[in-house]
Amino acid sequence: MTRAVGCACLLALALSRVAAAQDASLHAYIDERLVAAPDQTSWTQGGFGKARFGGGDTEPRFGGAALIGLAQLTPAWLVYADVQYQTSDRHTLDVVETYLRYRPVSTSAWRWSVKAGAFLPPISLENDAIGWTSPWTLTPSAINSWVGEELRAKGLQGQLEWRGTDNTLEATGSLFKGNDPAGTLLAVRGWSLSDLTYGLGSSLREPDAFVNAFGDPDHPRYDPFQEIDGRWGWYAALTWHSTEVGELTLMRYDNRADPAAHTDYEGSPDVFAWRTVFWSAGARTDTGPVTWIAQAMDGSTEIDTAPGANRTTRFRSAFLLAGWNRGAWRPALRFDHFSTGEDLNGSPLGLGESGNAVTAAINWRPRSWLRFTAEVLHIEGSRSALRVLGLPTRYSDTQTQVGVRLIY
């Protein structure tokens, strides 16, 4: 069964059962913005710009739209689907998540569940609003920008919970396929800060200068959610919730990809499987009206393009966000740091990236269905690998957005 047929069957099952569901609901949003874009060309248009928009123009931009449906078919069975539309990269209508979950009713402190389908790994403590967006900023952190771009699990996820009076413990594990190219963007482009969340069937664009030098200029895109080597990947996470302290989470991810495996295009190697592994740790707590969110990620992705040519990109990122809950008003400030480094057969190449970003946003939600956001994002750093392509190694970009979001 192909990926498209499998997704179609799952969506058909969802739609066929909605009418008989005990409880069904739809949620949606549509987003319009006025954007003052950085001068550097965005990576979505083939450049190395770190932000979603680029080119230096100040003009209205479509922020995106989403439709999220869920149906509680029985007390134990739930079906969920998230479909999003965006125009910044290409005009795409994609399924971001779709799954069927079984969670039997529990009368004890223990509860378990399992879900099957396509879903985002449970990494983000930041993007917990409708359509996997952030209630604090328009642009998520570098970590969660990459999650939305390249990480998706297609398979099974199980969860075991222990629920106490003041504390809850969760153990989550997954076996998945279809995420072999994850890590490509971190290696060829580096980190970004963008609120584009890609879905099944999407294709991501590699920078033109990289493709012209090392790839096929007529084939600059790839599907990040494809299966190449037939191996199962996995992730496992532990989470502690406390009514007094907040939330702590620790996760290990390994797509177990064969770094020498690849697809073929006109008889030549095309899309490679990247062996991507990382640790992710996060914390969330409240001090009075202020919410604090911190997260860090440390990992590597490797590729074997030829015998004796193992290239590894080590990547790290961390952020700290402070958000102030003031009724209809929600100011927020976030600091990001990110870096990469490259090795060839275990020896450092002296190529990599180091950068920082500051995001300041203020949200005003006078009605439950209406949200205004003003955001300034400043990114600066250096990427020594650009020297190989004859490009400037330092960058400093500022992106300003004023957005209005209608929420259903």
Report the CATH number at residue 34. Answer: 2.40.160
Q: Three-state DSSP class for 299?
A: strand
117 domain-assigned: yes
Q: What is the pLDDT of residues 85-137, one digit of tens each?
A: 999 888 889 999 999 999 999 999 999 999 999 999 999 999 999 999 999 99
Residue 17 has pLDDT above 80, yes or no: no
Does residue 164 contact residue 170 with C-beta atoms inside 8 Å?
no
Q: Which residue has the higher pLDDT, 388 or 363?
A: 363
Residue 9 has pLDDT above 50, yes or no: no
* Whole-number Å distance between alpha carbons of 164 and 311: 47
Q: What is the DSSP letter of 89?
A: S
Q: Give CB contacts under 8 A, 24+ apart, made by 74-77.
A: 74/22, 75/22, 75/105, 76/102, 76/103, 76/104, 76/105, 77/101, 77/102
Whole domain around residue 367: which residue ranges? 25-62+107-407
287 domain-assigned: yes
Q: How far are the Cα atoms of 135, 224, 370, 373 from residue 326, in angstroms, in the given order?
A: 13, 39, 16, 14
Q: What is the pLDDT, as a whole number, of residue 20? A: 53
99 domain-assigned: no
Based on the structure, what is the number of domains in the chain?
Answer: 1
Look at residues 251, 289, 255, 295 and name the one whose alpha carbon lies nearest to residue 273: 255
Residue 406 CB coordination number (10 Å): 14
34 domain-assigned: yes
* Whole-number Å distance between alpha carbons of 302 and 323: 36
| Number of residues in the chain | 408
Does residue 172 contact residue 156 with C-beta atoms inside 8 Å?
no
Q: What is the pLDDT, as a whole number, of residue 5? A: 38
70 domain-assigned: no
Going by their DSSP bridges, the two strands 58-72 and 23-36 should be labelled as antiparallel
Q: Three-state DSSP class for 46?
A: coil
pTM as predicted: 0.92
* Whole-number Å distance between alpha carbons of 288 and 325: 9
Q: What rounded mean pLDDT belongs to the chain? A: 92
* Whole-number Å distance between alpha carbons of 78 and 360: 37
Sequence-ordered list of residues with C-beta below 8 angstroms from that of 123, at least 6 positions apart, any chain = 143, 144, 147, 151, 251, 253, 280, 282
96 domain-assigned: no
100 domain-assigned: no
Q: Three-state DSSP class for 389?
A: helix
Residue 15 has pLDDT above 60, yes or no: no
392 domain-assigned: yes
